[in-house]
Amino acid sequence: MQVIKYKKSKQLNICLEATTMDEENYFSKNYLYLKAEVASWFDCLRILHSNDLEKRDFCNTQIGGGVTGFRYRWIVFISVLLQKALLHLKNPMAALGAAIELCLNYPPFNGGYRRLFFNIFTGRVVKPDRTSAKFTSMVGNADRRWDLKRNYYENTAAAFIAIMASKLSYENESFARNIVTHHWEMEFIGFFNFWNDFQEVKSTYATMFRDKNRIVIAFRGTEPFDSDAWRTDIDVSWYEFPGAGKIHGGFMKALGLQKSAGWPKHAPTPTKPFAYYALREMLETLMHENGDAKFILTGHSLGGALAILFAGILAMHDEESLLTRLEGVYTFGQPKVGNEQFGEYMKQKMKLYDIKYFRYVYCNDVVPRLPYDDKAFLFKHFGPCFYFNSCYKGQVVEEEDDDKYFSLLYVVPKVLNAVYELIRSLMLPWIKGEEYREGWFMKLFRLTALVTPGLTDHFPLEYDNITRSQKIGLINIFPGAH
């Protein structure tokens, strides 16, 4: 594969001069790089009528990346506007999320609601410790099931491990270590927080553990009140790589793209931990220690995008020794990560190394439909979609129907489906068993879905229910998944 490095751009501070990937950098000739943090509110209005945005400080672009056409500028406008709003709301969102999680954890830390009520009057209330193995995130409060073993079937083992690992990635290190070590009886390898060079914060989380000869890497998805994660999701920056196609910039930044070097094959000086390089190095060590070991990549939401992109960067770096040991990629509610060319590139690489790719989508989940597939950016999924309806019946489709989903005519069916899901949540324990009983917190979210249908469908709980509902192997349900 031809790899090109170009001369240095003053605006982007990225390397740009011809060389080979083995020695230097892998960056892009065509790109759109948005910097919402330096844009003013007036700049946002300029986007709608300006054809020379590349001259603005907040919008850098190179050959082939010009921001032309109103439709293109409109999407850039929405992205920058929302990112600016999230920057201003960062502290309030974090405070609100922390307060909600704290309130949700008071009952378990005090022995239940009745005991908490008694402790309030006696002045013995125990304040939850966020680093404790008892403290759970909002995702953990919505779905408290960690019973991996009882649903551990031969052909579906990897899928069950993947969704549970994706859920676990939202929790703190002590909680994750306790679940892996004492409940699942597996080896806990590490809990990591990685650097985002563009947001200049540690914002990418991953959990790693081992089950016999299978190593699992789970990337954390978008937390409800995490402003930085939401900025990553809605950042429509992109980079086009020689031979690989156009890739979503926000996800690449979260995985470890560097402002000064792009994607050099060899890890930079470890002054700041980048997800891709740190995890790749750990995998190489573990694979060297155990010649029979393989690994899977997984994640929910943003975590799913990072999982498939991790495999993509391994392919771009020709990491054959790791790609041949990659058993599969399992994503749940994953957004789109690149254009059609990138999809074709990935399909060829996965076929070459016999890597299975399972992309799960539940019903009206809005995130897999984003970024919207329009004529401006052309983001598209690739590979088969394992689509499940609200009755948890699965089928293989090429891609979700985006046009139908965003049609105004589809609003009423989505609301009616949300009503059905609320009723179903009350009936499932009687039909399928107590493991499907939902708490009051999740039922509250189901009520909000009557106004915002598609959001609760994105919860990991629904993807957990999908895997629990399958009584035969995935290979039998979805033959030829690559």
Q: Which residues belong to the active site?
A: 301, 365, 458
- Number of CB atoms found within 10 A of residue 457's CB: 24
- 352 Cβ contact partners less than 8 Å away, ≥ 6 residues apart: none
- The two tokens of residue 198 are 């563009």
- The two tokens of residue 43 are 């700049």
Q: Give, to the nearest 10 degrees, the angle between helix 157-168 and helix 460-469.
A: 160
Nearest to 452 by CA among 378, 361, 366: 366
Side chain identity, residue 65? G
Nearest to 358 by CA among 396, 324, 331, 322: 331
245: left (phi over 0), alpha (psi -120 to 50) or beta: left
Side chain identity, residue 365? D
Contact 235/199 with Cβ under 8 angstroms? no
Half-sphere exposure of 120 (CA within 13 A, CB side): 8
How many angstroms separate the CA atoms of 465 and 476, rounded?
A: 19
